[in-house]
Structure 1
Amino acid sequence: MQNWKRLLMLIAAVIIGLATVLLASGIALTNFIVDFWWHDGLDYGGYFWLKLLYRYILSGSVTLFFFLIFFLNFWAASRYLGIDETAFSRLGHSEGNRYRRLLKLFQTGSMRVYTPLSLILAVLIAIPFYKQWDAALLFLFAPSAGIPDPVFGNDVSFYMFAYPIFTLIQRELLIASIIVSVAIALLYWIEHRLLPGERKEWPIGARIHLSGIIVITALIMAWGFMLYRFGLLYTDVHEPQFFGPGFIELRYHLPLIWLSILTLLGAVLAGLFYVHKGTGLTVLVSMILLFVASIGIRQIDIIPDLIDRFVVKPNPVKVEQAFMQNNIDATLTAYELNDIKIIDVMPALPDRDILDQTFREHLYNIPVWDPEYLDEVYQQLQGIRPYYRFPNVDIARYVINDRLEQVNLSAREVNIDKLPAEAQNWENTHLRYTHGYGAVITPAAQDGETPMKWFLRDLRMESGVGFTVEKPDIYFGEENLPYAIVPNLLSVVGISSFDEESSYNYTGSGGVPISSFFRRLLFAIYFRDRNLFFSYNIRGDSRALFHRNIIDRIKRLTPYLSLDNDPYAVVTPKRIYWIVDAYTTSSLYPVSKTTSTRFNRESEDKPFNYIRNSVKIVVDAFDGNVDYYVANPNDPIIQGYRRAFPGVFKNMSSMSPMLREQLRYPKDMFTTQMSVYARYHQTDPAQFFQQSETWDFATVNDSVMKPFYFTTYLLEGLREPENFVLINPMTPIGRSNLSVLAVAGTPAARGRTDFSKEIVLYRFSREIQVEGPSQVSALIDQDPEIARQFALWDQKGSHVLRGRIIVLPVGRSVLYVQPVYIVSTGTTRIPELQRVILSMGNIVIMDASLEKGMERLQERLRELGPQIPPTPPTEPTEPPPPRMPEIRPMT
């Protein structure tokens, strides 16, 4: 009876185990199949297989390589294990057979042991290669950058692509060689220590085998020291003075590394000679002592401290000058800061009419509406239905009434969380409320005390300036949208759609077809949702739309690209699109300063010392199609990916002109560049060491000012007059006066087939005070008329909100503009633009209209009279050489 119970328990355990394995395998296989369908639905089926093949071919090749290393060494060692039959015969039959079986376990019959052991060890060694498959792709496909590093003279592509792979290979080879050395030595030790018989000399084959392993291990260690040299290029011990190697690293540590390499190889050769010949002990000991000394001295800080104390610190600029210059040059190149144009400005208030025709041409583009306040206005006035939401307000520029005008816009997306709790059921979530609809557009500049002006509004898509969208449905956007099944059999009423029948009649090509019960079953398993399988409302032509968040969608396709935090919508006559800026980064550009940024959908800051805005990504809000366009073809990283994945990354010339006109200089890129350039614009090593000209981001009320977009024709220095620019004011570090206006421009794309960008800095003279944003904010606070008006508004059930300060260059002066909003203190809080504050010099004006405010500001400036800048100090000239006294004859 007990045996039957045990048998039944064993059968049950086997069945449960098999079921578990089958279920896990089925889920894994389901994920694989659905993932392929998803890629194939986006026309990236070939790309899916390429990614898969690259990952598994690379990791599989590495696994096979290490398997052969382990297996062949075990097999070779088993060849040299000898059987002393005479010794076995003296032990007796039973004991002799036991030792024979033990020895055979380590001999040729043991391949059934060595084979799985070698495979397990090889898989463990190959795991890091599987995780870094994309780095291996760049190692194989990325071209040379054509830029030598300043220390060793290697192309920087060696450090970005080859160096990390070589380091990984060296580390794993060293681990493998140590494992092999220990295992082989253990096998030979077993023969000579555990097995019976007289101990005899090791076979010559075994000695050669062990010697070869030792030599290979030594060569791998020497290779590690060679690679360690390159690690000196990333040292940060000299921070905050400069980044990279200095005098001590290149004049002290580097020679010791070479000494370590030579003494290691010498010690190994001397050791082998001593083992095989029995002579050369003195040379062996000397090499070992030298090797240990070279390692030990590098670990002792006494000598470097003495060098630093008596050589470097007394003469830091003279000693470290060349190394600081290396850091400056490399950093400027790595962050694409070499071509910045600097325009020195001698500040002066305008001595002419500041409201001339040139200035009037861009007055209507001043962005007086803050996106953070405008978002609430859109939601309150244009949300219309509870399930619609505006996740973000974007900036764009369109030709309106024959002029290029800056606008604010936002896409109206669906948000199920806004529905009543009882309405948040499965059918509503996945079959009814499947998409958003349309967008709203307003001009960037508006006057206070007037109703909001709309260029595009309402669900009927009303526009008085010609905006039309053929298919305004938004199935893919910035919201975290659940999967949707469209079209379906539900009778949906009241949900806006371009289709004449109803919103469930999806006519797009996005998603994956659910054309059979097998597919329904797989999708039910994939989404862990049984309702999808049992629902009667799914049609034969229904499609599953999933991964509908545009960032999630892009990250699943190209996880090796870093994404900007500000995707933006583009409204075209056909449909609505999303554009996302993508970056290629590296943390291995030699001698370049490391910084960090948290990119979109990343959980922590990502460190890097090289960045390029190499890709512009376009996502169709209706179909979900994703297209990649190369914006910087000179970037070796994106060139490597283009070679590895043909057809994925397209030329910019193939982008629709309507989309190309909306491309911009991304904020994350500009902010990163300016945070680095704030210090590295000091290209003279002496000034760089002193940090006397270091800048900082301007602040207002302890909040850092963010760059803002502005469409202008006026800024001098840019190659083309018509630009869409980012403006970022900067101040001297620790001070509040304005030092620099940094402008990142995107020339007009009309007629262009590429993407062009440039940075111009307007640097104000240090001899004249130019008020910074925080100082202007203080002037506004101190203005009695403004203070009285604010106090009056605050007493009438409303609250005053002051928007961001906008900084604009006007001639050789700076115009500050700050909007003032009023918001109710009640439950419905809709910000209303009430006034605009303008400031130039020490003058502060507040008015409801931009143009009237400018007229009042102009009158105040006229009262001051013409402002003539002081003559800049002239350079001192050398005194004339002394004249020789005239010699006259005595009379």
Structure 2
Amino acid sequence: MRNLRFIPVLIGAILGIAVIIVAFYFIFLDLFVDLWWFQSLKQEPYFWLRLLYRFFLSGGVTLAFFLIFFFHFWIASRYLGLNPPDEVLADLDKRRRFQRFADVFMGDSVKVYTPISLVLAVFIAIPFYQQWDAALLYFFGQSAGVADTVYGNDVSFYMLSYPIYLLIQKELLTTAVIIFIAVGTLYWLEHVFIPNQNKEYHIGAKIHLTVLVGFIVLFVVWGFMLERFSLLYSHNHAPVFFGPGFVEIYYQLPLIWIGIITFLAVAVTACLFIFSKEHRIKAPFLVASAAFLFAWYLPNVDSIPNQIQRYIVNPNPVKAEKPFMQFNIDATLNAYDLKNIRVIDQDINVNAAEDITTWSAQKRFENIPVWDREFLIDSYQQLQVIRPYYQFLSVDEDRYFLLDHIRQVNLAAREVNISKLPESAQNWENTHLRYTHGTGAVVSPAAQDADMPLVFYLRDLNMSSQVGLSTKNPEIYYGEGKYDYAIVPNKLKVKGLEVGKGSEVGDQNVDEKEYTGQSGIPIRSLFRKALLALYFKDERIFFSLGVSTEGSKAMIRRNITERVNAITPFLQLDKDPYLVMTKDRFYWIQDAYTISKWYPASKPAADDYLEGDQPFNYIRNSVKIVIDAFDGTVDYYIADPSDVIINAYARAYPSLFKNMEEMPVELQKHLRYPRDLFYMQMKVYAKYHQTIPELFYEQAETWQFANVRNQEVRPYYQTMDFGNCKDLEEFVMINPMTPVSRDNLSMIGVASILDKETCGFNYKPGITIYKFRKEVQVNGPAQVEALINQDPEISAQFTLWDQSGSEVKLGRMVILPMGKTVLYVQPVYLVSTKVKIPELRRVIVSMGNEVVMDKTLWAAFDRLKQRFLKAASETGGTGTAKEAAPQ
């Protein structure tokens, strides 16, 4: 029997240990590993600061609501039972029952109301736990210096403050209603538990309930005030324009003000009726209630605004909606950073007989990209993967100073991928200790001659280059692939050598050096070894003799997108990070955006431009992120200091973000305008370049993306000299657009990052629109392709190639504004149906209505020039067009 006494103690101890183990596994284990990981990135201050903000905001909100609930319950407990009738005090039994009631609700209130208050506080604070980042923006935000034209508020109020105000108002109103119901119920229960209790409430209880009603009224009125701003996000006029219109401002907004006034009247008359016998008159309360219900119900009656729209707005749409369309235009251009676009009215000489002789610089053609990355990836896979445990995931475009001037290139990282090894080789040691990284990259010029083997500037595992490209640390431990964790260096290597490029040791390929980078969580002790084994649910980490506690490091989150998201989940990432090669190592540059759905009256983004599905109507390419492919270091550089959102984060996390000037110059040379951002901006600008409301309403000048073979011509990169800086070629994005439902070219958009004032490497993004006059016919891609198909020589050659197991594929059409002419270049590929190695067979060059095909750009252009010169001599130098282009 004596031993049985220890059973409850033993059970309690076991349960306590179990709780500690579970809490450690689900809470503290992740905390430890995350801390070690941030320490390895030298971002420990940011880790603690972010954790502190989250704890402070979440804990502070919970504490605040707990104190609110507890305070009101405590106040209620002070007034319960303070007004007993005389017969209760005279009767001994009734006095004892009253005393027990008073003891429960007054003396023991802490025991009763504390857990109730805590549970209610946690329930109310849950939305704040989910939106604590929004609260951070509220506390650290500053003015943007741009005001909306309806209410005159700075736009930063809507993006940084308005969302948190909506949340606070909703939760405070819910809290006030819960407290009023709970406290009112307690006061009512007093009459139930105490017989013959006086029906009149104690004066303190009356004041308490009146104060609670006042809070409810205050929060409801605040909700009405915030509802005014919701009109700025109206979709009622889509697709013509977005934001408030005539009906919202002149009908719905006055109704909101009437609702505020009538609700206040209801609250005042209700309080007088309930708590004052002297002023207990039903008529004022009933009249105020009827007026409020009428004002509250009217917005739900569609017939009235429909009639306003039908008889007032529709007969005079431009006159009635003009200021609101202008508001939408200005807001959208600001929200998508399109306010400062430079527009050039471009003169066009269709046949270019006068201008073509000025194109004598061959370097113009050394940067025209005739290899599409969609075709090039197959060639890289077939020719340069070399080993089965490597892969190319994507091809990037960039420019490097090679062979005496800047040349545009394609490049791709050779990343590790063991999925194609024999299944027996895909074991734990090979996955985590041996095949730990990729090796080098492949680089080829964007402009190449057709019918020739693919030229490489950098190739093979030994990083062979004929143009001087080299790097000290070619290993790629962090990339775009789906990487598992790796542990390096480890004891499995032969003399510290790793699987990869280089010489052969038995049946094993080895590198010439072990890992010397700073990346990874150091496995300094058996304790860390055990925790990492528990974290990865893999006991082999602890028991493996290859994992050393003296020098091994655990590399985790090696996918660069996952890595960046783990550090800064509040940034939206571009879909296309790109590789940069320096003398020391490889880097990934990731464009990151700040977005908001709260910019007033701005057009919402229609497509899924970014990773994820968050709706937004404001975007800035505010951050450039540099990820070291060798040791995983992540650096954040602010690219747009005018963005209010990134400025708020920069003030909240001063140790995280750096100024653009701090980026190494070697990396600044490789910054670029993001492709997805430019595509999205041009899609918006296609309509919103019509800044006059009358033209905006007519939509006569709306553009669309140029279309060929039922596919949009997406923006593409091009390196060329636009004459902005002497003999300096810019790396730009080009985007052609046509009128809606037409094929002729309307404009060519060019996005550049060149600082045209200093001609240096300062990052200064901007967009230039080369706009063609409406009275001039400029061929679009579909029309040029029609000319190609109509050419007998080209058509016959296509027919000859398109047989015997081969298929002719036309690549992306490159459209370049050059002088007073427009040059069209289209590569022709031959793809075998057996081995997917595309072959560049010819290059088609077109200008005006002339089309020629040859093996090199220079030869094709020379033939084109001869045609124009001959045509000019035959027409006496007028250079008139032979015929109109096909429509």
TM over 0.5: yes
CA shift at 1:175, angstroms?
A: 0.5
**Preserved contact between residue 488 and residue 504 of structure 1 (Cα < 8 Å):** no
CA shift at 1:282, angstroms?
A: 2.9
1:460 to 459, 462, 473: 462
Cα RMSD of the aligned pairs, angstroms, is 2.6
**Preserved contact between residue 462 and residue 501 of structure 2 (Cα < 8 Å):** no
Structure 2: any 5+ residue segments left out of the alignment?
A: 504-508, 882-887
Alpha-carbon separation, structure 1, partners of 2:836 and 2:11:
65
2:830 to 822, 825, 830: 822
Question: Which residue of structure 2 lines up, in the alignment, with residue 526 of structure 1?
Answer: 535
Q: Secondary structure at the match of 1:541?
A: coil
User: Residues 670-700 of structure 1, C-alpha deviation per residue, up to 9 Å, x if partnerless?
Assistant: 0111111010001110111111111111111
Q: How does 1:743-782 map to 2 (within 5 A)?
A: 743-747=750-754, 752=760, 754-782=762-790
Alpha-carbon separation, structure 2, partners of 1:782 and 1:752:
46
Q: How does 1:674-685 map to 2 (within 5 A)?
A: 674-685=682-693
Question: Which residue of structure 1 lines up, in the alignment, with residue 114 of structure 2?
Answer: 115
1:278 equivalent in alignment to 2:278: yes
Question: Which residue of structure 2 lines up, in the alignment, with residue 888 of structure 1?
Answer: none
Alpha-carbon separation, structure 2, partners of 1:27 and 1:205:
48
CA shift at 1:328, angstroms?
A: 0.5
Q: How does 1:164-313 map to 2 (within 5 A)?
A: 164-274=163-273, 275-279=275-279, 280-313=281-314
Question: Which residue of structure 2 lines up, in the alignment, with residue 48 of structure 1?
Answer: 47
2:856 to 831, 839, 849: 849
Alpha-carbon separation, structure 1, partners of 2:531 and 2:231:
53
1:554 equivalent in alignment to 2:540: no
Question: Which residue of structure 2 lines up, in the alignment, with residue 318 of structure 1?
Answer: 319
User: Residues 394-447 of structure 1, C-alpha deviation per residue, up to 9 Å, x if partnerless?
Assistant: 111111122111111111110121222111000000000000111111111001
Question: Which residue of structure 1 lines up, in the alignment, with residue 885 of structure 2?
Answer: none
Alpha-carbon separation, structure 1, partners of 2:338 and 2:197:
75
CA shift at 1:503, angstroms?
A: 6.7
Question: Which residue of structure 2 lines up, in the alignment, with residue 354 of structure 1?
Answer: 356
Alpha-carbon separation, structure 1, partners of 2:371 and 2:432:
36
**Preserved contact between residue 343 and residue 763 of structure 1 (Cα < 8 Å):** yes
CA shift at 1:10, angstroms?
A: 11
Question: Which residue of structure 1 lines up, in the alignment, with residue 587 of structure 2?
Answer: 577
Alpha-carbon separation, structure 1, partners of 2:687 and 2:76:
61
Question: Which residue of structure 1 lines up, in the alignment, with residue 729 of structure 2?
Answer: 722
Question: Which residue of structure 2 lines up, in the alignment, with residue 37 of structure 1?
Answer: 36
**Preserved contact between residue 233 and residue 601 of structure 2 (Cα < 8 Å):** yes
1:708 equivalent in alignment to 2:745: no
User: Residues 685-726 of structure 1, C-alpha deviation per residue, up to 9 Å, x if partnerless?
Assistant: 01111111111111111111111100110367x999531110
Q: How does 1:533-552 map to 2 (within 5 A)?
A: 533-539=542-548, 540-552=550-562
**Preserved contact between residue 669 and residue 761 of structure 2 (Cα < 8 Å):** no
Alpha-carbon separation, structure 1, partners of 2:878 and 2:674:
37
Alpha-carbon separation, structure 2, partners of 1:124 and 1:650:
39
Question: Which residue of structure 2 lines up, in the alignment, with residue 880 of structure 1?
Answer: none
**Preserved contact between residue 396 and residue 407 of structure 1 (Cα < 8 Å):** yes
Residue identity opposite 1:419 in structure 2: L
Question: Which residue of structure 2 lines up, in the alignment, with residue 430 of structure 1?
Answer: 432
2:596 to 582, 586, 608: 586
Alpha-carbon separation, structure 1, partners of 2:23 and 2:609:
34
Q: Secondary structure at the match of 1:238?
A: coil
CA shift at 1:106, angstroms?
A: 3.1
CA shift at 1:812, angstroms?
A: 2.4
CA shift at 1:753, angstroms?
A: 6.2
Cα distance change, pair 256–202 in 1 and its aligned pair in 2 (3 A)? same
Alpha-carbon separation, structure 2, partners of 1:301 and 1:193:
48
Cα distance change, pair 803–91 in 1 and its aligned pair in 2 (3 A)? farther
Question: Which residue of structure 2 lines up, in the alignment, with residue 673 of structure 1?
Answer: 681
CA shift at 1:18, angstroms?
A: 5.3
Question: Which residue of structure 2 lines up, in the alignment, with residue 606 of structure 1?
Answer: 614
Question: Which residue of structure 1 lines up, in the alignment, with residue 500 of structure 2?
Answer: 496
1:470 equivalent in alignment to 2:480: no
1:858 to 856, 861, 865: 865
Question: Which residue of structure 2 lines up, in the alignment, with residue 884 of structure 1?
Answer: none
Q: Secondary structure at the match of 1:607?
A: coil
1:741 equivalent in alignment to 2:743: no
Alpha-carbon separation, structure 2, partners of 1:498 and 1:610:
50
**Preserved contact between residue 593 and residue 620 of structure 2 (Cα < 8 Å):** yes
Q: Secondary structure at the match of 1:306?
A: helix
User: Residues 471-519 of structure 1, C-alpha deviation per residue, up to 9 Å, x if partnerless?
Assistant: 1111111111110000001135773369998477211100110011100
Alpha-carbon separation, structure 1, partners of 2:65 and 2:110:
16
Q: Percent identity?
A: 50
Cα distance change, pair 236–363 in 1 and its aligned pair in 2 (3 A)? same
Cα distance change, pair 222–494 in 1 and its aligned pair in 2 (3 A)? closer
Question: Which residue of structure 1 lines up, in the alignment, with residue 840 of structure 2?
Answer: 833
Cα distance change, pair 721–868 in 1 and its aligned pair in 2 (3 A)? farther
Q: Which moved more, 1:194-203 or 1:64-73?
A: 194-203
Alpha-carbon separation, structure 1, partners of 2:99 and 2:277:
34
User: Residues 832-885 of structure 1, C-alpha deviation per residue, up to 9 Å, x if partnerless?
Assistant: 111111122222211111111111111222233245689xxxxxxxxxxxxxxx
Alpha-carbon separation, structure 2, partners of 1:685 and 1:353:
39
Q: Which moved more, 1:13-22 or 1:485-494?
A: 13-22
Residue identity opposite 2:562 in structure 1: D
Alpha-carbon separation, structure 2, partners of 1:825 and 1:594:
44
Q: Secondary structure at the match of 1:606?
A: coil
CA shift at 1:64, angstroms?
A: 1.1
User: Residues 165-204 of structure 1, C-alpha deviation per residue, up to 9 Å, x if partnerless?
Assistant: 1111000000000100100110011012343233331100
Residue identity opposite 1:465 in structure 2: V
Alpha-carbon separation, structure 1, partners of 2:510 and 2:802:
50
User: Residues 539-580 of structure 1, C-alpha deviation per residue, up to 9 Å, x if partnerless?
Assistant: 121000010011111111011111111111111001101101
Q: Which moved more, 1:812-821 or 1:624-633?
A: 812-821
1:686 equivalent in alignment to 2:690: no
Question: Which residue of structure 1 lines up, in the alignment, with residue 636 of structure 2?
Answer: 628
Cα distance change, pair 105–457 in 1 and its aligned pair in 2 (3 A)? same
Q: Secondary structure at the match of 2:312?
A: helix
Question: Which residue of structure 2 lines up, in the alignment, with residue 340 of structure 1?
Answer: 341
**Preserved contact between residue 350 and residue 867 of structure 1 (Cα < 8 Å):** no
Cα distance change, pair 753–662 in 1 and its aligned pair in 2 (3 A)? closer
Question: Which residue of structure 1 lines up, in the alignment, with residue 443 of structure 2?
Answer: 441
Q: How does 1:50-89 map to 2 (within 5 A)?
A: 50-82=49-81, 84=84
Cα distance change, pair 313–357 in 1 and its aligned pair in 2 (3 A)? closer
The two structures have a TM-score, normalised by structure 2, of 0.93
**Preserved contact between residue 389 and residue 413 of structure 1 (Cα < 8 Å):** yes
**Preserved contact between residue 142 and residue 156 of structure 2 (Cα < 8 Å):** yes
Alpha-carbon separation, structure 2, partners of 1:322 and 1:184:
50
Cα distance change, pair 469–307 in 1 and its aligned pair in 2 (3 A)? same
**Preserved contact between residue 472 and residue 497 of structure 1 (Cα < 8 Å):** no
**Preserved contact between residue 599 and residue 606 of structure 1 (Cα < 8 Å):** no
The two structures have a TM-score, normalised by structure 1, of 0.93
CA shift at 1:292, angstroms?
A: 1.3
**Preserved contact between residue 97 and residue 194 of structure 2 (Cα < 8 Å):** no
Residue identity opposite 1:730 in structure 2: M
**Preserved contact between residue 487 and residue 504 of structure 1 (Cα < 8 Å):** no
Question: Which residue of structure 2 lines up, in the alignment, with residue 367 of structure 1?
Answer: 369
**Preserved contact between residue 346 and residue 869 of structure 1 (Cα < 8 Å):** no
Q: Which moved more, 1:625-634 or 1:108-117?
A: 108-117
User: Residues 38-86 of structure 1, C-alpha deviation per residue, up to 9 Å, x if partnerless?
Assistant: 0111011010011111111011111111111100100001111116497
Structure 1: any 5+ residue segments left out of the alignment?
A: 871-891
CA shift at 1:783, angstroms?
A: 2.4
**Preserved contact between residue 358 and residue 714 of structure 1 (Cα < 8 Å):** no
Alpha-carbon separation, structure 2, partners of 1:715 and 1:820:
30
